[in-house]
């Protein structure tokens, strides 16, 4: 192989490795997951669109930098996030109707759990070790159809979808708001790839 070709291939490999701040093939260690809750701020007078744009801005400027930093430091090797409130298990008071980014992170072996939680930013609330149901489950996912019946496979996919969301947002100009039509179109592509209309799964 000639030198210029080797140089180009090296550059491409380095770019591919550096373009992802998590490892797509990682499966989380369910015994080493810490969960934390980041409140989604919003004005009572805000429109639905304004609330949504504020949330996307939070993902871009708060959540993404946090998981990127923790990964680059070698503290975690997997994460996922969903939006939940107290009815979905956020450990907050009955008068708290806010929604939270429910962020879960799998610690590497070298990470000390108590120290990791202590060093999380102040906007991370109610941080704790995640309690896994016995037997392990993932909402309505039928575990027996996953490879080797491993629930970790489902959690891995949830993590990859979380990473996809952040990468999709990161692909947009940071000085501009993400238009809803762009999100709808990218979700449409996913539904199209899976031919979801054949089984009446609703997608944009």
- pTM comes to 0.86
Using a pLDDT cut of 90, give the percent of the chain over it: 80
pLDDT in tens, 96-137: 999 999 999 999 999 999 999 999 999 999 999 999 888 889
pLDDT of amino acid 25: 53
CA angle, 72 then 75 then 78, to 5°: 85
Contact 71, 108 (CB under 8 A): no
Q: How confident is the prediction for the chain on average, in pLDDT?
A: 89
Angle (deg, nearest 10), helices 151-170 and 64-72 = 120
Q: Is 189 exposed, middle or buried (0-12, 13-18, 19+ CB in 10 A)?
A: exposed
Tell me the domain boundaries of the chain. 21-193
């Amino acid at each position: 192989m000639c030198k210029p070709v080797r140089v180009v291939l090296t550059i491409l490999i380095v770019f591919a490795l550096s373009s992802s701040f998590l490892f797509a093939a990682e499966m989380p260690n369910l015994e080493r997951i810490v969960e934390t809750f980041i409140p989604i701020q919003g004005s009572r007078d805000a429109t639905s669109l304004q609330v949504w744009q504020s949330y996307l801005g939070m993902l871009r400027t708060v959540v993404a930098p946090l998981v990127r930093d923790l990964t680059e430091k070698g503290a975690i090797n997997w994460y996922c996030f969903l939006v939940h409130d107290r009815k979905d298990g956020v450990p907050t008071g009955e008068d708290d109707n806010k929604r939270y980014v429910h962020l879960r992170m799998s610690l590497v072996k070298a990470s000390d759990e108590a120290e990791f939680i202590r060093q999380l930013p102040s906007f991370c609330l109610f941080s704790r070790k995640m309690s896994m149901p016995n037997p392990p489950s993932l909402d309505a996912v039928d575990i027996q159809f996953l490879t080797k019946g491993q629930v970790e496979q489902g959690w891995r996919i949830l993590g990859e979808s979380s990473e996809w969301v952040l990468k999709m947002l990161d692909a947009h100009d940071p000085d501009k708001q993400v238009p809803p039509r762009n999100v709808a179109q990218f979700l449409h592509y996913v539904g199209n790839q899976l031919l979801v209309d054949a089984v009446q799964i609703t997608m944009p």
